[in-house]
Amino acid sequence: MTPYVPGPLAATHERLENWGRWARGGRGAGRAGSAEGRYLRERLPDDDDGRRAAAPSIDAADAGRVDAALAPARGFDRRASALLKAHYVHRASPHVVARRAGVQVSRLSAEFERALTAARHALGPLD
């Protein structure tokens, strides 16, 4: 799911993308999170044949702030938290995101925008 992100929410979207990479342990596509992934040797910079884009860096301090701010235990909406985690951390399909968040698939775009707005207010400005 690649939802439409309105301009004012673009910075929040980028912070949530960073949070998702951090929560997945920095693993991106092409790196298994299973036992097999632990036994594959790391790719060296000179192994790159030009087909892969460089992995974006992870701001761990900001990701920790995002993780704390989006916790339902701290008062963040449980449904919005589940929706954002399913999308940014688990990279789930729209149907799975909707199921985990408890919303209808037809309302997913509106709920996603509402969750992004709630996250923007919970996070505040980046220092």
- What span, in angstroms and rounded, lies between the C-alpha atoms of 17 and 10? 10
Its pTM stands at: 0.76
* Banded pLDDT at 6 (limits 50, 70, 90): confident
- What span, in angstroms and rounded, lies between the C-alpha atoms of 84 and 70? 9
Amino acid identity, position 22? W
Is residue 9 within 8 A of residue 120, CB to CB? The reply is yes
**Can you give 58-72 as a three-state secondary structure string?**
CCHHHHHHHHHHCCH
Nearest to 108, CA basis, from 120, 118, 96: 96
pLDDT of residue 100: 85
**Residue 52: pLDDT above 70?**
no
**Residue 33: pLDDT above 70?**
no
